[in-house]
Amino acid sequence: MPIHDCFTDSGDATSADFTYFVYLKDWPCRKLAARKQLDIIVKVRERFRRAGQQWQLIKSTVYVNYLVVGDGRRLLAQALHYDFDEAGQPAHPLFHVQLTIDPIPQHELASKGIVVDFEVTNPAGECFVASRIPTSDMTFASVLYCLMADHLGAGTGPGPAIFDGFANNIRPIQARLPTLSFEALRNSLQASFSNFKSPHWFAHMNL
């Protein structure tokens, strides 16, 4: 699907929603036996707000499912999502990753032309407590960059050439990607009184 078709009106003229799915098939993983591969499914939901001639990111949730493929089976090994809401959420670090066992719904994938069957080996989610780990601002661009580094960088199979080429293509467009300005981030942190302001969570607070 073309990227511009993934944007929808969020209800007012100054903001837009972005929904996107990515299926990364048969990726190398140094943690797996040679006869196994890794499939990675990514679901992105982000909201942007127009600020003059630029767009700012005000909300982002990036779901990532890791599937181990081998022996004729595809198993959900880990599910997580990276979360951010400019307004803050009660009892949440402003930026965080949450470890889960929740798969991206297969009917949602199928609606986007991604047909993939996999097993959830622990559907009850036992021992997967709702751990929220504070992170930097891990939005879609950051998650995609890290996936490339983790699985297509040095020592991860094909060697550093693939990641280096990707990184070289990304660097020139960084200035055009919607980001959180430092001032917007600072104001957001100060305004979200229900969120703990510890600099151990947010290095940005060391002003």
Instruction: Please state the pTM of the whole predicted model.
Output: 0.81
By residue range, what is the domain housing residue 17? Answer: 3-205
Q: What are phi and psi of 160, to 5 degrees?
A: -75, -15
Q: Say whether 10 sits in a helix, a strand or coil.
A: coil
All residues at 6 or more sequence positions from 188 whose CB lies less than 8 Å from its CB, including other chains? 86, 87, 88, 94, 180
- 17 vs 34: CA distance, rounded Å: 40
Q: For residue 173, what pLDDT is reported?
A: 82
Q: Say whether 60 sits in a helix, a strand or coil.
A: strand
- The tally of domains found in the chain comes to 1
**117-168: pLDDT as tens digits:** 999 876 665 656 667 887 877 889 889 988 988 888 765 555 557 888 888 8
Say if CB 69 and CB 38 are below 8 A apart.
Answer: yes
Q: Which of 38, 45, 37, 88 is closest to 63 using CA atoms?
A: 45
**12-56: pLDDT as tens digits:** 888 899 999 999 998 888 888 878 889 999 999 999 988 787 788
All residues at 6 or more sequence positions from 154 whose CB lies less than 8 Å from its CB, including other chains? 160, 163
